[in-house]
Amino acid sequence: MFTPALRCCAPLAAAVPTPTAARVLARSFSADVRRRGKKNTTPSTRRAIANRTPAPRAPATEFPHPAATPLAQQLLKAQAGQSTSDVTLLEQQYAAKFEGDHVRQTPIDPEAFLNKGDLALGDYVLVVRKGKLYHGVVSKVKPAESLLVNGFYLAHNFNEIYFRFPGFFSPHTANAHVQLGLRQLLRMANAKMHENELRMQAIHREFADVRQLSSAPLLDVAAWVFHSEPDKVTLEQALAVTLYAIQDQHHFVMQNRIHVSNHVTFRPPHVVRVLAEAQKLARAGTDPFDKFVTKCRAVAAAAPGAPALFWTKEDHLLIDCLREFALAPRYAQAPFAFLSTHVLIPLGYQAAEGNAALQLLIDLRVFHRYDNFSVFASDLPLERHGSAASDAAAKRMEALAQDLVAQPAADDSCASIRHDFGSLPVYTIDDASAKEIDDGVSIEYDPATGEPSWVHIHVADPTAAIPLTHDLTVWAHARTQTVYLPETHFPMLPPVLGTKLCSIGASQRLGRAEGDYVLTVSVKLDQNGQISDYRIRPARVHNVVSRTYDAVDAVLPPESDPERAPQYTAQPLWSDPARARTAPSATTAPEMTPAILKDLAALEQVANRHLAARNTVGGFQIASLNTSVDVFDYDYPATPRNNLVPLTLTDLSTPSIRVELDPSMRSRARRLVAELMILAGRVAAIYATDRALAVPFRGQPAPPAGAVPLNIDACKSHVSGTLAFRDSMTIMPYMAAATHDVTPVPHFQLGLHDGYAKVTSPLRRFGDLVAHHQIKAQLLKDAGIDPPPITDGVALPLPSPALADLLQSTLRKERQIRTLQKHRLAWWALECLRVRVDSAKGAVASAGRTAEDPTLVEYTARISRVFEPSGAAMAILADAGTTAFVRPDRERWPLGALRVGDWVMARITAVDPLARNLEAEVVRKLDLDPAWD
C-alpha cells in the first residue's frame, strides 16, 4: 500500500495559493470518492498486481480522507485564512508544484541522481515488462511494488526498472495526489519529447558517429538535446530522452537497469547501417531472402570438402545482420525480428531469437561451436579473438614489457624507506598452474613467549617498475583486470612482467641478488583477533618458499565442523570419461620441513583468530557450489568477429572438459590465504582513512532492518561462520551488490565496519595497482619526502575526485568481465553435460540399448529454489555446480513435496549451451541431511 506527503523537488513557494489548494483537494476528494463508491463506507478496494489478481486493502490506509493527511490539514488552514507558519517545506513545495495550470519542472540534483542508493518508498520508476511501459511510484520495497498512474498496483522485479528518480514522493500522500503528480510528469515529458523531435533524432549522430561513444551519461545527453548543462537538467527532460530512446530501438540499445548505470547506450554505427540496409531489403520483397535460404540449406547439407557456393553482396549483408542479431543481448534484439520471419522460421529454427541465429551461423560454418561469443558481444580489448587492433596492441605491450625486463627502471622513489626482510621465509601458496604470484605471507614470533607476533602480508610491487603515466599502466587501465576463462586467460599486464620482473619469487628463480620488491602490510593481533598494531612499508624479500594449495592442505587436514558435516563428496565430471586424466603424483611435492610446518600452523592460527573476530561482529560465509572447469586439447583458432565466409576446420580434436566443484570451501590452505588477504585489505583501509587518503574502497550495504527472514548470527556455524545451504538460499535475495567508492564504506558480509580496500592483486586488478601508487606516495609524505610528480604541477597521491574519474570506466568493465567469466564457465559446464547426454543417447541408438547410461544423464542435485504455486523448482547439480530448471510434476511431486535444501536425483531432459539452458526432472529424493551447507 502507499500512504506516502508528496515531496517534489520544485522551487520553494513563498506562500500557499488558496484557490489552487482548494482545487487540488477537490480533485483528490472526488477521485477518492469515485474509487471508494458512494454507498459503501467501508469498502474492500480492488487491487491489481502483475496478473491483475484482486486483493483486499484497508480503505483507511489506502485512501485517507483528504482532511486526514498532514498536507491536507495545512492546505485547509490556508484556505480558511489561518496561519500557515507551521507549513512544512515539503508542503510548500507541493503547493508550488501545482500552482495553477502550469506545472513547474523538477530539477535534478546530479549527485543524488547518480548515487541513488537502494530502492525506497516514493521513488518514481519506469518499469519495462515485455515491451510495455509502466509509470509508477514505489509503494513496497521487498518485494517491489509500485502504484501506477491508473491506480492499480504492479508487482515487479528490481531488474525490470528501466528508469528511476529517487524521492519523488514521500510518506503520507493520498493516492489521488500521487496519480495527479504522475500524470503531470508524463504529460510534460511527452510534450518535451515531441517538441524536440529533430534534436532527439540527432542524438545518435552526435554521440555515436561524431564523438564515437558506445554510451554516454543520461544527463549529458539531455543537456545536449535541451541546450543546457548536466547540472541544470530537469526530471522531465531526462525522462523525455529516456522515452525517446525506448521508442527508437534502431539507434539505441534498451539496456537493462539504466537507472543503475545512468547511461544511454547507442547501437554501433556499423550495426545501424547493416540493420537499415537489411530492413530496406526486406521491404523491397522476399526474393533475396528466398535465395539466401536456399543457399543456407545447401551449405548445411554439403559434405566436408564440397565446392564453396558463391555468396552475393546481399548474402553477406544478411550474414552480417544475422551475426549482430546473434551477438546482441536479448533486450536489444527487437529490431532484428524480421530475420525470424524471413530466414530462421523458413529454415526450421524454432526459437525466434538470437540463439537460433547463432546456431544458423554455426551450421553455416561462419562461426565454430567453441568460439567465445561473449567476447564477440563485448567491447573488451582482448587479443587472439579475431580483432587485428587488439592483437597489434598486445604485441606492442609485450615489446614494452620485454624492454622493461631487459633494463629495469633504476629510479626507485621509495628506496630510502624500503625495508629489507633479509632471510625471513616468505610463503607463496597458490595453484600449481599459477604464473603471476602477487602475494606471500610471513610470520614472526615473540622472543619472550615464542607465540606468533607479527604477521606480514607481502604484495608484489609492480609500481616500482611501472610509473602511473607509463603506456603499460594505460594498457592495464583499458584491460581493467586479468580475465580467466576455462580455455585460456588474458593477463592485465604482459606475462613476462609476472614471470621475470614483478612476481614474488622471480629474483630467486633468476638469481638476482636485489630480491623482489613488495609492499608489505604488517599486523599484530591481540588474543581476541583485534588489530593492536600495524605497519605498511615498501620492502624487499629474498627467501621465497613456494607451495601449492594441495600441498598445504595435505599437512593441514580438513577441520571437523559438526555443524556442517559433509553429506556428499562431489566427483569431477569429464565430457568423455575415457579421456579422464589422473592428477600428478603427490610424491613430487617439495618437502615440508618442521620449520615450515610450524610457520604454517602459526599463520593459520592468526588467520582463524581474525576470522573469529569478524564472525563475532556479524561476518558470515555463504554456502556456495562454485564450479571449476578445465579444458584440454583445445586447438581451435579464434574466428574473426566479422567473418563472412565458411570456415575450413579439419584435423582438430574435440576438446576434453573436466568440471568439478571449487574446493575453496573445504580447503584450509585457501581459507588461510583468503583471510590474511582480507586482513591486509582492512589494514590498508584503516591506514587510508586515518590519513584521508583516497583509495578504491569496497563495501556492501546491509539489508534493511528486519528485511532478512532469519537470524544470521544464530544460524551460522560457530566454527567457520558458514550458513547452511538452505539458509544461504534464503538470504541470497536480500544481499546487496558490492559498492565501490573512494571513501570508506562498511562491508556487511565480511563484518568489516572500518572499511575494506583491495590491495593484494596489483598484477591482476587495476584498482589494486592504483591503490599501491596512492599508498606509496602517502608513505613518502609520512617520511617527509615529496612524492615525484606525475605531470607538470600534478603529484601523487591523487585527490578523491581525480581518483574517482580514473576508476569510473573500470567499474563498467569489471561488471562486463564478471559476466563474461560467468557465462563462459557456464557454457563449458553445459557443453560437458551436453556431450555426456548425447553420448548416452547415441549409445542407445547405435548399440540397441533399452535405456540410457544413468551415470551420464542422472546427477545428484540440491533444490535451491521452489516456485509457488506452480511447483517448479531450481536444482544445483552437486558434481557440476550448474543450475537446472525443474518443471512441475504435480502427480509425482505435489506442492510442498520439494523444499529448498532437499537432496534429489535429477535426470537431465534438455541441455543447450548456446541458450544457457538446462532442464531436468526429479527422479527420486535422496536420504541425505538437508542441513548440510
DSSP 516-542: EEEEEEEEEE-TTS-EEEEEEEEEEE-
Clarify whether residues 788 and 868 are in a common domain: no
Question: Cell triple for residue 423?
Answer: 632471510
* Helix (H), strand (E), coil (C) string for 362-385: HHCCCCCCCCCHHHHHCCCCCCCC
Name the residue type at position 877.
L
* Per-residue pLDDT at 102: 43
382: in domain: no
- The CA distance from 223 to 234, in Å, is 9
**pLDDT at position 587, please?**
45
What phi and psi, each to the nearest 5 degrees, are found at residue 156? Answer: -150, 165
The domain containing residue 311 runs over which residues?
270-367
Whole-number Å distance between alpha carbons of 174 and 188? 22
**CA separation for the pair 860, 226 (Å, rounded):** 59
Residues 402 and 311 in one domain: no
Q: What is the pLDDT of residue 30?
A: 39
Are 113 and 166 in contact, with CB atoms under 8 Å apart?
yes
Looking at the domain assignment, is residue 363 inside a domain?
yes
Q: Looking at residue 871, which CATH number applies to its domain?
A: 2.40.50.140
**Backbone dihedral region of 870: left (phi > 0), alpha (psi from -120 to 50 degrees) or beta?**
alpha
* Pairwise CA distance, residues 148 & 124, whole Å: 10
Please indicate, yes or no, whether the overall pTM of this predicted structure exceeds 0.85: no
Judge if 496 and 547 occupy the same domain. Answer: yes
| Position 668 in a domain | yes
Q: Residue 878: helix, strand or coil by DSSP?
A: coil
- Taking the C-alpha atoms of residue 338 and residue 249, their distance in angstroms, rounded to an integer, is 14
- Same structural domain for residues 297 and 425? no
Amino acid 71: pLDDT: 38
Domain count, the chain: 5
Neighbouring residues of 189: CB distance < 8 A, sequence distance ≥ 6: 236, 237, 239, 240, 243
What does 227-287 look like in DSSP terms, one character per residue? T--GGG-BHHHHHHHHHHHHH-TTTEE--TTHHHH-EEEEPPHHHHHHHHHHHHHHHH-SH
**Pairing mode, strands 531-541 and 419-420:** parallel
Q: Based on the domain organization, do 792 and 880 belong to the same domain?
A: no
Compute the C-alpha angle 72/78/81, nearest 5°: 140
Sign of CA dihedral 412, 415, 420, 426: negative
The helices-and-strands tally (H runs, E runs) of the chain is 29, 29
- Cα dihedral 513, 519, 524, 528, rounded to 10, equals -130
- Report yes or no on 9 lying in a domain: no
- Tell me the C-alpha distance between 668 and 674, whole Å: 10
Q: Are residues 748 and 640 in the same domain?
A: yes
CA distances (Å), origin 453, targets 450, 526, 568: 8, 9, 39
Helix 354-363 to helix 313-327 angle, to the nearest 10 degrees? 130
Q: Residue 538 in contact with residue 461, Cβ under 8 Å?
A: yes
What is the per-residue DSSP string for 425-476? Answer: -EEEEE-TT-----EEEEEEE-TTT--EEEEEEEEE-GGGTS-TTSHHHHHH
Is 748 in contact with 700 (CB distance < 8 Å)?
yes
Q: Which residues contact 490 (CB under 8 A, 6 or more apart)?
A: 382, 383, 479, 482, 483
Question: Burial level of 141, CB count in 10 A (0-12/13-18/19+)?
Answer: middle
Q: What is the pLDDT of residue 304?
A: 66
Helix (H) or strand (E) holding 886: strand 883-886
C-alpha cell at 497: 612482467
Q: Does 164 share its domain with 256?
A: yes
The rounded distance, in Å, linking the Cα atoms of 164 and 41 is 36
| 278, 245: one domain | no
Q: How far apart are the first and last CA of the chain?
A: 37
pLDDT number for residue 919 = 95
Cell reading at 640: 574473426
Q: How far is CA 264 from CA 134, 191, 214, 219, 783, in A?
A: 19, 20, 9, 9, 46
Helix H or strand E encompassing 643: none
Residue with cell 550495426: 271
Say which DSSP state 798 is in.
P
My answer on whether 485 and 633 are in the same domain is yes
Query: Do 105 and 82 lie in a common domain?
Result: no
What Å distances lie between residue 442 and 437, 510, 600, 675, 847, CA to CA?
A: 15, 22, 9, 14, 60
| 595/427 Cα distance (integer angstroms) | 12
List phi, psi (to 5°) of 805. -65, -40
Structure confidence at residue 409 (pLDDT):
64
Question: Amino acid letter at 382?
Answer: L
Answer whether 453's CB lies under 8 Å from 445's CB. Answer: yes
pLDDT value of residue 676? 97
Cell of 804: 574517482
pLDDT of 3 reads 38
Residue at which a domain ends, from 771, 801, 819: 819
Specify whether 124 is located in the same domain as 197. yes
Closest C-alpha among 192, 21, 29 to residue 96: 21
Q: Does residue 833 lie in a domain region?
A: no
| Residue 891 burial by Cβ neighbours in a 10 Å radius (0-12, 13-18, 19+) | exposed
| Closest among 567, 625, 623 to 903, alpha carbons compared | 567
DSSP H or E run through 220: helix 218-225
Residue 3 in any domain: the answer is no
Q: Which residues of the chain have pLDDT under 50?
A: 1-103, 583-587, 931-933
CB neighbour class for 584 (10 Å; exposed up to 12, middle 13-18, buried from 19): exposed
Closest CA to 479 of 372, 378, 405, 629: 378
Q: Is the C-alpha dihedral spanning 15, 20, 21, 24 positive or negative?
A: negative
497 and 415 fall within a common domain:
yes
Q: Which among 220, 240, 267 is the end of a domain?
A: 267
What is d(CA 685, CA 687) in angstroms, rounded to the nearest whole number? 5
Task: Using the 3D structure, point to which of 29, 61, 96 is the last residue of a domain.
Answer: 96
The answer to the question of residue 607 being in a domain is: yes
In-domain check, residue 848: no
